[in-house]
Amino acid sequence: MGLTVAALAVAALLRALEPLTAVTLCYFAELACNTVSALRLGRRGRCFGLGLLLFVGCDLCVGLHNLAAFLPVVDTGPLFSFAQVGMWLFYLPSQVLITLSVRKK
């Protein structure tokens, strides 16, 4: 929760706090906190934590890919080319690891 509040405060100070920005910051801050929490579980949360970490990578690629809509001049270079493919390279393994992390009853 603290990271979310901090991210929203920074966005407000930069005068960049719009509804979509606020929702994005809340989502990403909570995803980051959940990832760190899962990785701290050690062996018990390893599969889930790695799945979330890959999901963070996927979301970063999606964000970078969509950044071109807001800043058209940045849609060049190898990083943006990688983002178009990277989002899918991270997404599938993230979903597999998250699914495999579910404990059987």
Q: How confident is the model at residue 21 (pLDDT cuts 50, 70, 90)?
A: confident
Q: Chain-wide mean pLDDT for the chain? A: 86
Report how far residue 89's alpha carbon sits from residue 71's, in angstroms, rounded to the nearest whole number.
24
Is the separation of the CB atoms in 47 and 72 below 8 Å? no
Percent of the residues in the chain that have a pLDDT greater than 90, as a whole number: 45
pLDDT tens digits, one per residue of 55-90: 999 999 998 888 777 766 666 678 888 988 999 999
